[in-house]
Chains A and B, each alone.
Chain A
Amino acid sequence: MSLPVRVGTLLVAFLAVVGGAIFVVIHFFLAGPAVIDYTAGAASGPGRQVNVVMQEDAQNTVTNKPDWVSYFIQDPKTKQWVHTTLFRVPAGARVNVTILGYDGCTPLRNTVWGKVTGTIGNTELVDGKRVSVLDAWQTCSVGHTFSIPGIGLNAPMGSPTTVAENNNLCSQSPCTSGPHATMQFSFIAPTTPGSYFWQCRVPCGGGFLTGFGGPMQTIGYMTGQMEVAS
């Protein structure tokens, strides 16, 4: 081949490689679910409060993994349920969390996570009743947990408690009706900005060896991050 042809082929090949690499990085490694922002609005300062509303469903109809359990977070401005597990709160604020538990009960792998820690008062409201310990092996009472290990927060989520309810769970998502339990608790967000991961501790990844695969290890389903913004 003559010199201009060789140079041209090289340039095309180089651009193809660079383009391909950039595409892979952007599409596969940098993409991710949306971050729900609770920092907008009220002025900062002590006494700042934000209300985070979430729900967890037994299945989801919005992704290509329909049988994966999943959390949804409600956008504070549009009140729409968004399929994400990433949210942002202001530093030092009091975060009031409400979670609607539409998923049935599953035993914990380690029952120590049935104890509520890290919330204000170390208790939570489950369907209006104040509880501090849930027994996930004895009673059908724990569906998932909302745990932020970095700040010592562990809040077991209630679930519908009867056999009939557990066999009749809401099958589309985000759920608007169906048997569910309502949890409420509050905690103080840390004062240093950063990102704190949160996870569920109930082994609800069905079809995995310890129940901790699949949705349990995929951001956007049962684990996510709380970003604390200054």
Chain B
Amino acid sequence: MQEPKKAEQQSSDSMEIVELDERLDMAFDPLSMIAAIKTGPPNTNCNNTQCCGGGKPM
């Protein structure tokens, strides 16, 4: 029973000093997200590396 008690004490000690989260108030860029959603996944059937390097958007 000594070991769990010791571990619990150590855990409690380490929790006496807690770093608070960095507060970064974020805002997603709606335009690029809409553009990404509208573009959709790349169409890998296109292998023309001259026009778009393959993976032409659908």
- Judge: A and B partners, yes or no: no
Using CB atoms and an 8 Å cutoff, list the residues of chain B in contact with chain A: none
Q: Which residues of A contact B (CB under 8 A)?
A: none
